[in-house]
Amino acid sequence: MELFDLGGRTALVTGASMGIGAALARGLAEAGARVVLNARNAERLEEAAQGLRDAGHAVDTLAFDVTDADAVRAAIDGYVQTRPIDILVNNAGMQHRGPLEDFEIEAFDRLMRTNVNSAFYVGQATARHMIAQGHGRIINIASVQTALARPGIAPYTASKGAIANLTKGMATDWARHGLNCNAIAPGYFETPLNAALVADPAFTEWLEKRTPAGRWGRVEELVGAAIFLSSKASSFVNGQTIFVDGGITASL
């Protein structure tokens, strides 16, 4: 369908070598976009890229640290000399668990740099070019913890709440320039970030009872929302956070 066709578009996906980022990159490529994969580990990044190339997709790679503002700007400014970036998926993130009263300051700072600062750095560097070209789509990856909290992850919850409000701010400042800025908030998905929880039978039992859908999410189930927010179909959607969570935030 033309409304959802991403042919001729280029999408940069951060944290794209595995998990949600890899799944979203593949989904956007299957919808017709050229995808630009980002991660710090160049070897793992190239493996992910080759898998997409083997499937017939157009793929580039940009290995840079999303928490280094200078490296971010240099990489993006350099890439757009070749072709414009039409879509940005700010997916890079991390988790660190621990009691809030004992949470290490260094761990808190590292988590915030990875989950919040990076979205600002990459978002700003990319938006400057999108503003100049008069259009662009930015998708920030939030979380079910944007709206809810659980013991042991208060700083992560704070970071994902910040992502939702940063998304609103991006839309407020940049919509007039032709940018659509929204967020996707995944629930509990089977990813490397959640490996410890997936391996915990007690947690899985709790999650299956707590989630109306009764199961873990599959990363492929995030692709539809990403295509929607990247395409003409969402032309008047701005500043929103879409929860893809099996109903967990809708139910007590």
Two tokens at 224? 């539809």
- Check if 121 is active-site: no
Q: What is the DSSP string of the chain?
A: -GGG--TT-EEEESS-SSHHHHHHHHHHHHTT-EEEEEES-HHHHHHHHHHHHHTT--EEEEE--TT-HHHHHHHHHHHTTTS---EEEE---------GGG--HHHHHHHHIIIIIHHHHHHHHHHHHHHHHT-EEEEEE--GGGT---TT-HHHHHHHHHHHHHHHHHHHHHGGGTEEEEEEEE-SB-SGGGHHHHT-HHHHHHHHHHSTT-S-B-GGGGHHHHHHHHSGGGTT--S-EEEESTTGGG--
DSSP state of 100: G
Give the number of other Cβ atoms within 10 Å of residue 171's Cβ.
Answer: 20
Name the residues annotated as catalytic: 156
